[in-house]
């Protein structure tokens, strides 16, 4: 036991002597947490700038413009008399939607000629353009309802009956899982989980490869010939330091007022298995590739596309089968699904069984292979 404690202390010294690794492991979670948190702090898209081209200049078109200004999602930043240069002006104001109200709009409505209002949507940013376009469409539908009800009332139909004829049934939208529509609750945890995976992989990429390059592996193998003990000596410091990162993430949740509630101990179990799977992948690559540079490069190739492949932002069922297979060998894919079920969808624990089992299999396979390869290398150097 004394020897294990001495070796763990040795690992901490190696970590703190590497200023670059220490800065990445400690600084990256803080930097990404503050950066992503402030990017999405507002939570939902509001007051998106739009351009209105009003060629009619009638009371009805003015009412339509007022309705759009009253919508919290959009804000009319420029009124133009024609479509000339409207695209360039929209680019200047970062507007994703141009609403064109044609000449004779009010007269056409009164004479039932069905005039056409054109909405030009810039699809370069899906989130913002969809939000702005939906807001304009809601205003247009509301105006249509008002015009139709008023027309029927002028024809002698009572207001109550006119409203019922226009709206034979009502629809109610209930927001589930993210009731406030807050994008911060969706984005920040996902990015921070990926950051935790990356810093663990980066740190453990150097665990054994640095020993091989510096020629200290022989000394280490002589002090402990048990491959299982050596592997845990390498990962225990990172597991302990990861607790600090998780506490930091909890602090970010409090700071940004994110109401995340779930079964605490079950989530701790899932998190522990996730970190074991990540650590064993890092250790395996570090043992197989004795070069620090090569080990780091391989693990960064695995970690960099993890967020995209995880299915957190784009349904994995829509990805090709071979891409899904690659995603399934990355621990964060399963952990992000568990996080979504527990914290966003508020599902029961049994919904997370498949993800937990997958991470356990990844951890077990990588641990067994790493143990076998490390045992062969220990035997080789001790014989010499």
Q: Classify residue 220 as left (phi > 0), alpha (psi -120 to 50) or beta.
A: alpha
Residues in Cβ contact with 362 at an 8 Å cutoff, skipping those fewer than 6 apart: 277, 280, 281, 329, 331
Place 91 in a pLDDT band, splitting at 50, 70 and 90: confident
What does the pLDDT read at residue 306?
A: 77
The mean predicted confidence, pLDDT, of the chain is 77
What does the pLDDT read at residue 358?
A: 94
Residue 44 has pLDDT above 80, yes or no: no
What does the pLDDT read at residue 17?
A: 65
What does the pLDDT read at residue 180?
A: 45
What does the pLDDT read at residue 170?
A: 41
pLDDT (mean) for 6-15: 62
Residues in Cβ contact with 136 at an 8 Å cutoff, skipping those fewer than 6 apart: 50, 68, 74, 97, 99, 119
What does the pLDDT read at residue 272?
A: 92
Place 369 in a pLDDT band, splitting at 50, 70 and 90: very high
Place 169 in a pLDDT band, splitting at 50, 70 and 90: very low
pLDDT (mean) for 173-190: 59
Residue 68 has pLDDT above 70, yes or no: yes
Q: What span, in angstroms and rounded, lies between the C-alpha atoms of 96 and 102? A: 19
- Look up the pTM and report it: 0.67
Q: What span, in angstroms and rounded, lies between the C-alpha atoms of 225 and 254? A: 45
Residue 172 has pLDDT above 50, yes or no: no
pLDDT tens column, 18-34:
665 566 556 655 665 56
What does the pLDDT read at residue 351?
A: 84
What does the pLDDT read at residue 32?
A: 53
What does the pLDDT read at residue 251?
A: 83
What does the pLDDT read at residue 367?
A: 93
pLDDT (mean) for 269-285: 91
């Amino acid at each position: 036991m004394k020897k294990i404690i001495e070796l763990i202390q040795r690992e901490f010294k190696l970590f703190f002597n590497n200023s670059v690794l220490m800065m990445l492991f400690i600084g990256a979670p803080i930097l990404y947490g503050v950066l992503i948190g402030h990017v999405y702090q507002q939570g939902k898209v509001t007051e998106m700038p739009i351009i209105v081209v009003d060629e009619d200049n009638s009371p009805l078109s003015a009412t339509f413009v007022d309705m759009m200004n009253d919508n919290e999602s959009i804000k009319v930043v420029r009124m133009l008399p024609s479509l000339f240069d409207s695209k360039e002006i929209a680019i200047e104001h970062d507007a994703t939607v141009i609403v064109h109200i044609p000449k004779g709009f009010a007269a056409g409505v009164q004479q039932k000629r069905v005039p056409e209002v054109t909405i030009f949507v810039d699809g370069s940013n899906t989130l913002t353009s969809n939000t702005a376009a939906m807001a304009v469409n809601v205003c247009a539908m509301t105006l249509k309802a008002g015009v139709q009800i008023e027309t029927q009332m002028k024809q002698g139909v009572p207001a109550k009956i006119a409203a019922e004829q226009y709206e034979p049934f009502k629809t109610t939208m209930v927001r589930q899982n993210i009731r406030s529509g807050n994008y911060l609750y969706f984005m920040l945890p996902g990015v921070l989980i990926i950051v935790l995976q990356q810093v663990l992989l980066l740190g453990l990429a150097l665990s054994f490869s640095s020993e091989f390059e510096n020629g200290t592996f022989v000394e280490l193998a002589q002090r402990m010939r048990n491959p299982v003990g050596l592997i845990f000596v390498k990962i225990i410091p990172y597991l302990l330091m990861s607790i600090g990162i998780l506490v930091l993430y909890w602090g970010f949740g409090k700071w940004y007022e994110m109401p995340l509630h779930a079964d605490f101990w079950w989530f701790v179990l899932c998190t522990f298995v996730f970190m074991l799977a990540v650590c064993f992948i890092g250790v395996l690559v570090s043992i197989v590739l004795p070069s620090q540079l090569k080990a780091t490069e391989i693990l960064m190739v695995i970690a960099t596309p993890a967020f995209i492949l995880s299915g957190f932002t784009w349904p994995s069922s829509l990805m090709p089968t071979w891409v899904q297979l690659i995603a399934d060998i990355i621990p964060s894919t399963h952990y992000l699904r568990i996080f979504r079920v527990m914290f966003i969808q508020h599902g029961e624990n049994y919904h997370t069984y498949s993800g937990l089992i997958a991470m356990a299999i990844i951890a077990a396979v990588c641990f067994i292979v790493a143990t076998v390869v490390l045992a062969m290398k220990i035997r080789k150097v001790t014989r010499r």
